Structure 1
Amino acid sequence: MRTRLITALAIGTALLAATAGPAQLLPGGVTALPGQLAGGLLDRTGTAPLQGGVGGVVDTLGIDRIGAGLSPGSLLDLRRERLRALIRANRDVLEADDAGNPVRRSEIVAIDPPPAVMAAAKAAGFTVLASDRLDDLGITLVRLATPKRMSARDALVRLRTVAPDGRFELNHVFEPAGAALSPGSTPPAAAGTARGAPIGMIDGGVAAHPALAGAAIEQRGFVSDAPRASGHGTAIASLLVGADGAFRGAAVGRMLLVADIYGGRPAAGSADAIARAIGWMAGRGVRILSISLVGPADALVERAISAAQAKGMIVVAAVGNDGPAAPPLYPASYPGVIAVTGVDGSGRALIEAGRATHLDFAAPGSDMAAALPGRGYAPVRGTSFAAPLVAARFAAQTGDSAMRLAAVTAEAKPGRGRVGRGIVCAACRIDPGAVRAKK
C-alpha cells in the first residue's frame, strides 16, 4: 500500500487538498499548512515537493495530462493519508473515529436531549461546552466535553450506555475549505442589488474581487466572530454571482448568503457549525443551498438537512474527489440531497470524482476558470466547482422542489461516464483563456 501511495504522489495525484473536502482543486503557488496538500495539482515536472509529510507547493498542470496515472486505489490511499495528516497536524483539537475520519477531540454532540438524558450525562462526568437552539429547524444541539482522558469514541459508547434514550454523535469534521489559500481576512460584504430569494453557500469566507464588486453578498462566521476569506470560498462565490468582463457566474443578480464554517482554521468545519449554518439559512428564507464539502455520515448534519428540506429547501452537494473506491460521502449521499459530479470540457466525468449513494446531475468541473482572492482568475478542477452551477440552475426555476427538479432534469444533456440524469449548465463554463487565468 505504501508503495502505491508513493507512486501516486510521484505521478502527481496530489489531488484534493484538505481544503473544502476533496471536492476541489485550486491553483498552485500556495504553501500548504502543515499536514495538508496544497490546493492545486503538480509542478511541471510531474512531482510535488512534500511538506508536513503530505502537502507542498504545487503548480497547475492540467490533470488531464496525467490522468492515466490515477487509479481508484491510489486515490483511496491519498484520502486515508490526507485524513491521517490532518489529524496529526491538529492533535490538540482532533482525533479519529473508528473509520479514521477526523472528529473534534473530547467532544460529543447531544441532539434534542430531554432533561433526563442531560442529567444522566452530567452524572457520568460530562460537562456542557455550548448549547444552541436552532429555532428555524426545531433542533436543540448540546456540545458535551468528555470526562478527563476519555476519547470521543469511548465517550460515545459510555453515553449510549448511561442514557440509552438519548441521541448522541461524534462531532465530525468536514474537510476544511480553502484554509491553505486563505488571504487572512475578509473585507466587508458587498452590498449590490439583488432579485429573488437568496442562494446559500456553506464553505469558507469570500474575499473581495472585481467580479464580486457589484454582487449582493452577506457573510457570517460560525467559528469566529468575523468570517475569513478563503480561496475556495471565493472561487465558489464567483461561479455563482460573479460578473466581470468575459467572466460571468451562473446566478448573477441573486443575493448570496455565505456561511463561513472554517474561520481560516484547518481543523474547523465541524458538524455543529454546519448545522448552525443551515439554521441561519433556513431563517433567512434560502430555498437553494450549495455545499462543496464532504465528510462521513453524521446524525446532526442529517437531522439539520432533513429539517431544512421539510421547510422546502433544496440542498445541492458535491460528491467529492476521492474516486470510486472511497466510501460514499456526505451530505451528497443523504436522501433528497442533489448529488453532483463534475465533467471536463468534453463532457466526460472526472476520473477522480467520488461516488454517492445516488447521483443526480453533472456540471462543468474542469477546463474552467474561477476567481482568485483579490483579483485575477485561475483554472480550477473538481466536483466542488460543479455543485454551485447545478444550484444556480435550480435557483433559476420556479415552483416547489419537485417542479424545480423536473425542470432541471429536462435541461440535462447526455455525457460520458457516470453523470446521473445528465449534464446541466454546460454553457456556464468559463474558458481560462478568456479571462487570462493564471497558470
Structure 2
Amino acid sequence: MRRRIAGTTMVAALLLGGAVDAQLLSAPIGNLPGQVIGGALPSVLHQTPAAVGGVVSRLEIDQMVSDLNPRSLRDLRRARLQALIRANRATLDADDMGNPIRRNEVITLDPTPEMLARIQTAGFAILRREHIEGLDLDLVVLGTPKGDDSREALQRLRKLAPEGQFDLNHIFEPAGAALGAGSAAALALGRAPANQPAIGMIDGGIAAHPSLTVAKIEQRGFVNGAPRASGHGTAVASLLVGQDGRFRGAAIGRTLLAADVYGGNPAAGSADAIARAIGWLAGRGARVVNISLVGPPNRLIEWAVQSANRRGMRIVAAVGNDGPAAPPSYPASYPDVIAVTGVDARGRALTEAGRAVHLDFAAPGADMAVALPGKGYAAVRGTSFAAPLVAARFAAAGGDAAVVEREASPGHGKVGRGIVCRPCRIVPADVGAKK
C-alpha cells in the first residue's frame, strides 16, 4: 500500500508539472515558464526528488499510470488546468467548468456591421479581426466591458445580440508529453513545394533534428510571429515525416505543413489561433491534418472543422490522456473528426486514454520512440503519438476511411474500429532512445 501511495504521488507530481518536471525531463526538451504536463507522462526520466521516491524507471511510471483509476485521472486533469491558470493569471481565466480561457476575451463569428456597432456601443472593444480565407469565415475577438469577466460578457452578448454566434476563447493543450522547447533551434523556415501532396499538423513548432533534414516542411507561426521549437511538435513531426537510419515516420516523402499555435508559450493554443491555422492549411491544400491537442467544445473550432470538412479536409485528433471519467475531448469529439486512441506494444488500449463522443481508430501510442529537439530520441506514451500515425494512413488512403478500416486489426479494450499502422511503431532500443 505504501508503494502504491508513493506511486500515485509521483504520477500526480508528473501530471501537474512545476518544479518536479524540470528534473524529470531531459535537457533537450527543457521547460517553459509555468509549464505543465499535457495529460501524458514524460518518458525521459532521471533522478527524482526524495519527496517523490527516488529513482523511478519508465516501466514503473507506466505501471503507476495503469494503477490510477478514472476518478484519479479526472481529478489530476482538474488540478493540472488549475495550475496552468494560476501560473498565467495575467492572460488566463476559467470558464464555468474550469477550462482555461483567454482572460477578458469573447469571440464572435461572421458578425454583421450593424451587430458589431451595437456591441461596441455596449462597451465591447474590437481586439482583433480577421477574414480566414481558407474557411471563408470572419472572426472578431472582442474585449470585455470594464467590470465584466469573460463569462459575464458572454451572457451579456447573448442577450444583446441573440442572432449572433459567440463563445469564449478556450485554450487547448497538447495531448501528451510536455510542450517544452529548451534551447534547440527551430527548423529553418522554407516553403513546401506546391506540387507535392501535403499533410498538415497543428501543434507546437518543430525543432531541427537529423531525422527531419531531408523532409519537405513548411512552418508558420500563429502566435507572436515566427514558429518556436517545441518538444511536442518535434515529436509529432518526426512520427509523420522523420527519416534517420532505423527511425522512419509513417508519411515519409509527403510535404508537411506545420502550424505552430503556441509560439513557445504553454498558455497559448487558443481557439482563434487554431481556427486560423485550420484556415491556412485549407488554403494551402492540406487534405489530411493531425491535431494532437485537446480542450472543451468551442463554437469557433466546431465551425472551422465543419467548414474544412466541406472543403474535403480530413482532420484526425487525439482523444487525450485524462481517462474515461474526464469530459469528452475536442476536437476529437466532433462528428467530422477522426478520433484516435493509443495502444501499447501488446495492442492494449492505454489505461489513461481519454474519451470522445465517438472513437474511430487506435494506433501505437506507447513503447515507441520519437525525435527529441536537436538530436536523439526518447520513448514516449500518450494518444498524441498515435494520432499522427492514423493521419498518415488516411493520407495514404486519399482520405478514404473505408480503406483505412480494411487495414485495422483487433486489439484489447476500446480501440474503435481497430488498430492501424501497427508496423509504424519504432522500438526505442532500435534507435538508442533515452529512457
TM over 0.5: yes
Q: Which ranges in structure 1 are unaligned for 5 or more consecutive residues? A: 20-25, 51-56
Describe the shift of the 1:295–1:42 C-alpha distance in structure 2 as closer, same or farther (beyond 3 A).
same
Give the aligned partner of residue 70 of structure 1. 68
What is the CA deviation profile of residues 9-45 of structure 1, one whole-angstrom value per residue up to 9, with x for unaligned ones?
41425555789xxxxxx95554563362486159578
Contact (CA 8 Å) 1:109, 1:143: kept in 2 or not?
A: yes
Contact (CA 8 Å) 2:369, 2:426: kept in 1 or not?
A: yes
Task: Measure the CA separation in 2 of the matches of 1:14 and 1:272.
Answer: 31
Instruction: Give identity over the alignment, percent.
Output: 59
1:423-438 residue pairs with structure 2 within 5 A?
423-438=419-434
Give TM-score, length-normalised by structure 1. Answer: 0.89
Task: Measure the CA separation in 2 of the matches of 1:306 and 1:13.
Answer: 36
1:229 shift after superposition: 0.5
Give the aligned partner of residue 397 of structure 2. 397
Task: Measure the CA separation in 1 of the matches of 2:223 and 2:393.
Answer: 30
The amino acid that maps onto 1:271 is A
What is the CA deviation profile of residues 151-179 of structure 1, one whole-angstrom value per residue up to 9, with x for unaligned ones?
00000011111111111110001025843
Contact (CA 8 Å) 1:182, 1:264: kept in 2 or not?
A: no
1:38-437 residue pairs with structure 2 within 5 A?
40=42, 61-62=58-59, 63-175=61-173, 178-183=178-183, 185-189=185-189, 196-398=196-398, 401=399, 404-437=400-433
Describe the shift of the 1:32–1:283 C-alpha distance in structure 2 as closer, same or farther (beyond 3 A).
closer
Give the aligned partner of residue 22 of structure 1. none
Describe the shift of the 1:72–1:414 C-alpha distance in structure 2 as closer, same or farther (beyond 3 A).
same
SS at match of 1:235: helix
What is the CA deviation profile of residues 324-366 of structure 1, one whole-angstrom value per residue up to 9, with x for unaligned ones?
0001010000012000000000000000000100000000000
1:187 shift after superposition: 3.4
What is the CA deviation profile of residues 348-392 of structure 1, one whole-angstrom value per residue up to 9, with x for unaligned ones?
000000010000000000000000000100001100000000000
Describe the shift of the 1:80–1:6 C-alpha distance in structure 2 as closer, same or farther (beyond 3 A).
farther
Contact (CA 8 Å) 1:193, 1:253: kept in 2 or not?
A: no
SS at match of 1:388: helix
What is the CA deviation profile of residues 311-331 of structure 1, one whole-angstrom value per residue up to 9, with x for unaligned ones?
000000000000000010100
1:49 shift after superposition: 6.2
What is the CA deviation profile of residues 40-98 of structure 1, one whole-angstrom value per residue up to 9, with x for unaligned ones?
15957887968xxxxxx997613333344211011011100000000000000000000
The amino acid that maps onto 1:412 is A
The amino acid that maps onto 1:10 is T
1:7 shift after superposition: 6.4
Task: Measure the CA separation in 2 of the matches of 1:248 and 1:138.
Answer: 37
SS at match of 1:316: strand
Contact (CA 8 Å) 2:174, 2:294: kept in 1 or not?
A: no
Contact (CA 8 Å) 1:28, 1:60: kept in 2 or not?
A: no
Task: Measure the CA separation in 1 of the matches of 2:246 and 2:190.
Answer: 21
1:119 shift after superposition: 1.3
